Amino acid sequence: MTQRPSFHFHERCLWFSTGQSALVIPVGGWMQPPAAGGHADSPEPKRRLWSLMQVSGLAAAYDMQASPPAPRAALLRIHSEDYLSRFQALSAAGGGALHPTAPFGPDAWEIACLSAGQVLGAVTEVAEGRRTRAYAVSRPSGHHCLPEMPMGFCLLANVAVAVRAAQAAGLHRIAVLDWDVHHGNGTEACFYDDPSVLTVSIHQEGCFPPGQAGAVADTGRGAGVGYNLNIPLWPGAGHESYMAAMDHIVLPALWDFAPDLLIVVNGLDANAVDPLARMLLHSDSFRAMTRKVATLAEEVSGGRLVIVQEGGYAEAYVPFCAHAVLEELAGQRTAVEDPFLDLVRQQQPGPGFQAAQLDELRRHPRWRV
């Protein structure tokens, strides 16, 4: 087995188009077509990460692969034929939307299958024992997508599809830790009654989906009770809150579950300058969380760890956060320094907020000292 992790990325995923929108709102009515930019889910954060990896030399630490599209049979483990057919037909007609928060342009079906394919490729490398660590860049993302309905820029449930593929390959217990700033509602829904998959989401309370999604009380259904774990944090939470949530809630839960494979949904939109959320993380926060999950995977999962990049909309900053995660995953530092780090470290919440947020976290039923 090679110890070099694999990196799964397909250039065509950068060609995914959301159609004409401004931030998250389609143009029309009171929304003017933007002069520049457009939809928040631009390809630039991921394109700039790819570019930074070439310039920093970090690309050489990875076995670079462009994986093929996910086959329909793999998608059907999560999605219905009816949903796949409707999506494929609308894509072939030039695009549209099957949910107002998930518009898409031409070729979206082909590109979404490629995006799911990158995640499937990464998980397959690990599940079939060729290496223990892999990273996938997915675009469009997947963690909001439900079996029968797209949502929140997500058109196929990329990670959920890969979980079922890993199980088909012989890994039985899978944990999915989602630290994207938005609740991982799609992944939660896919496995809500399934005790073989532990789903954990740390997110900004009430951010997306708006309202009550991602509540602490949502712990699973039927045989799955106890296998879904939500950790909502207040808007404005920063580095220390995430470290406390990881150390006292997430890591003990993962340790108890002892998964055969740990998959991290590495949304980077809890960074301090993201346009779609209000959290205060920096690259060292993502680096520290990666170190924690890598250590845990070594201890309980035979080292098997797959990290999937999904959300993250600050074009200038996401690449530095992702680069820090990738350095940790490869066990290698480059000369790259995060030019935002000092600034964001000085923007952390004050002691009053911090103490109150910690008190709230200590009331979480899964808090462990």
Q: How many residues bind Zn ion (CB under 5 A)?
A: 5
CB of 57 to Zn ion, least distance (A): 29
CB of 153 to Zn ion, least distance (A): 8
Positive or negative, the Cα torsion across 121, 126, 129, 130?
positive
The residue type at 334: T
Contacting range for Zn ion; rule: CB under 5 A; set: 127-135, 233-241, 304-312, 324-332: 304-312
Q: Which is nearer to Zn ion, 46 or 182 (CB)?
A: 182
Q: Is 182 in the site for Zn ion (CB under 5 A)?
A: yes
Q: Are 204 and 232 in contact (CB under 8 A)?
A: yes
DSSP assignments along 324-363, one per residue: HHHHHHHT---S---TTHHHHHTTPPPHHHHHHHHHHHHT
Q: Which is nearer to Zn ion, 48 or 144 (CB)?
A: 144
Q: Say how far apart CA 188 and CA 177 lie, in whole Å.
A: 11
Helix, strand, coil fractions of the chain, as percent rounded to 5: 40, 15, 45
Q: Is 232 in the site for Zn ion (CB under 5 A)?
A: no
Site mask for Zn ion (CB under 5 A), range 252-271, x = bound? ---------------x-x--
Q: Is 311 in the site for Zn ion (CB under 5 A)?
A: yes
Q: Say how far apart CA 118 and CA 130 lie, in whole Å.
A: 16
Q: Which is nearer to Zn ion, 126 or 265 (CB)?
A: 265
39 annotated active-site:
no
Phi, psi of 125 (to 5 degrees): -55, -45
CB of 190 to Zn ion, least distance (A): 17
250: DSSP letter: I
Q: Which is nearer to Zn ion, 103 or 311 (CB)?
A: 311
- Given 39, 79, 143, 144, the catalytic residue: 144
Contacting range for Zn ion; rule: CB under 5 A; set: 93-101, 112-120, 121-129, 310-318: 310-318
Q: Which helix (H) or strand (E) holds 87?
A: helix 81-92
Q: Which is nearer to Zn ion, 24 or 165 (CB)?
A: 24
Q: Is 292 in the site for Zn ion (CB under 5 A)?
A: no
- Binding test (CB under 5 A) with Zn ion, winner from 178, 180, 260, 338: 180
DSSP-based three-state secondary structure for 46: helix
CB of 272 to Zn ion, least distance (A): 15
Q: How far is CA 136 from CA 12, 90, 203, 235, in A?
A: 14, 27, 21, 28
CB of 183 to Zn ion, least distance (A): 9
Site for Zn ion, rule CB under 5 A: 180, 182, 267, 269, 311
Q: Which residues are known catalytic residues?
A: 144
